[in-house]
Amino acid sequence: MRRMDARADPSDAAEHPASPVPADHPSVQPAPRVTQRGPPTEQPASPYRASVGHPVTGPEFLASDGVGDWRVIWGAGWASAHYRTVDYETAVRLAHRVGVLAAAASHPADVDLRPGGVTVRLLSGEPGGLSSDDVELARSISAAAAELGAAADPSAVQHVQVAIDAASSAAVAPFWQAVLGYESLGDEDVLDPLRRGPSFWFQRMDVPRTERGRVHVDVYLPHDEAERRIAAALAAGGHVVDDSHAPEWWTLADAEGNEADVAIWMQ
């Protein structure tokens, strides 16, 4: 999914101006709905059906009643919650409850079961949008977690993306799609269809950059977690390279200059 980046050319920024920040949730904006472009070979149909509910923006999702456990991530590509449990048995019970609720709603959810808890991801159709169906299912999942004594931990919610500078995404994206076993998403991204690994974004560069590396990492965080993560990175020996785009994103680097953007996608 495309996002304006400090490494983009000024002409590109003029072509894609930043969106205004909504007053109700200044740190989150809806992502555009995107059309999946498949590779040359036929791909199996997505298990994520198109939503029958109405579309909702990131701020609208977060403003809904009963979804305080949840955070909108990756430009409203999905909503996610992580629940910590006292033991593995409780985590298994919660994962089962989530599956039952999702099946009853005919709205599949991504469920990641670990010994210390459960992470749930909700989306409507392909990644790139949320709907009222996600709000209703999130509400039901939160209620089930509360019954089992599972506490939400928003600090565990994130999405990691690898960004590669490219003169032509069409020239390089097929290689990364093939070597990673990913699927294309729009014109500039390839995505793990099981959402296990990071997404890859191919950032158009008209002129090759020589003063910086051509690969960096984007860390997408909930709107209320970014500054805490930045503080931890600075305490660990990092430094701020560019904060002129804050609070949309901050560019940090380690002691040897390798860069990472801590981002709250506002477009």
DSSP H helices in the chain: 10-15, 58-63, 88-104, 132-147, 169-180, 226-235
The pLDDT of residue 256 is above 60? yes
CATH topology of domain 55-156: Gyrase A; domain 2 (3.30.1360)
pLDDT 10s digits, 96-110:
999 999 999 999 999
The dihedrals phi and psi of 193, each to the nearest 5 degrees, come to -60, -20
pLDDT 10s digits, 235-254:
999 999 999 999 999 999 99
Handedness of CA 22, 139, 51, 163 (dihedral sign): positive
Distance CA 131, CA 141 (A): 16
pLDDT 10s digits, 50-82:
556 899 988 899 999 999 999 999 877 899 999
In this prediction, residue 212 has a pLDDT band, given cuts at 50, 70 and 90, of low
DSSP H helices in 80-218: 88-104, 132-147, 169-180
The dihedrals phi and psi of 241, each to the nearest 5 degrees, come to -90, -40
Query: Which residue has 């989530």 as its token pair?
Result: 98
Task: Among 3.30.160.70, 2.130.10.10, 3.10.180.10, 3.10.105.10, name the CATH number for the domain at 158-263.
Answer: 3.10.180.10
CATH 3.30.1360.20 domain residues, the chain: 55-156
**In this predicted structure, what is the pLDDT of residue 53?**
82
In this prediction, residue 128 has a pLDDT band, given cuts at 50, 70 and 90, of low
**In this predicted structure, what is the pLDDT of residue 10?**
36
The pLDDT of residue 86 is above 50? yes
Distance CA 48, CA 193 (A): 11
pLDDT 10s digits, 169-204:
999 999 999 999 999 988 899 999 988 899 999 998
In this prediction, residue 141 has a pLDDT band, given cuts at 50, 70 and 90, of very high
CA–chain centroid gap for 227, Å, is 17
| Three state DSSP letters for 239-258 | EEEECCCCCCEEEEECCCCC
267, 255 Cβ separation under 8 angstroms: no
42: left (phi over 0), alpha (psi -120 to 50) or beta: beta
Residues of the chain with pLDDT > 70, as a percent, come to: 76
Of the candidates 32, 46, 115, 30, the residue with the CA atom closest to the CA atom of residue 79: 30
pTM of the model: 0.78
Distance CA 69, CA 62 (A): 9
**In this predicted structure, what is the pLDDT of residue 213?**
65
CATH 3.10.180.10 domain residues, the chain: 158-263
- What does each C-alpha distance from 63 to 56, 67, 70, 180, 237 come to in angstroms? 10, 8, 11, 37, 36
